[in-house]
Amino acid sequence: MTHDTSAILALLPHRYPMLLVDRVESLVVDTSVRCIKAVSMNEPFFQGHFPGRPIMPGVLIVEALAQAAGVLAVESLGLAGTGKLVYFMAIEDAKFRKPVEPGCLLALDVTFVQRRATVCKFAGVASVDGEKVAEARFTAMIADAPA
């Protein structure tokens, strides 16, 4: 299963400049997802991170992994169109191995570690050209959108 940007917009509440998933390359319901983030010099965070040596902030790489997990959760749990949101609860064992620069295609591979009715745990790896640049384990909660 693959998705383009319009399908991703139907699954996630994020919008520019916080939408960090550009394409879903593969999705196996209840198991895993591979998404792509095209890292462009036009990203607003590059203006200050860092002038003369632009790198994608690690926290945004983890956010991109979490958004990929959101796509996996929404598709696996049948949440599309329900108004339910996937909220970050915890980040564990985050490691950053190499800088991510403009012009990179950031691959976001996320798998389910544990799945309950309203809480899911995931493991994610971000890579560029097959080389791991970051990884983390994280937990998310499924909840109603605020009124």
Q: Which of 14, 23, 49, 137 is catalytic?
A: 49
Catalytic-residue membership of 49: yes
Which residue, among 66, 54, 49, has the nearest Cα to 134 in the 3D structure?
66
**DSSP-assigned letters across all residues of 41-74:** TT-GGGGTS-TTS----HHHHHHHHHHHHHHHHH
Q: Please check whether residue 93 is in contact with residue 135, taking contact to mean a CB–CB distance below 8 angstroms.
A: yes
Q: Which residues are catalytic?
A: 49
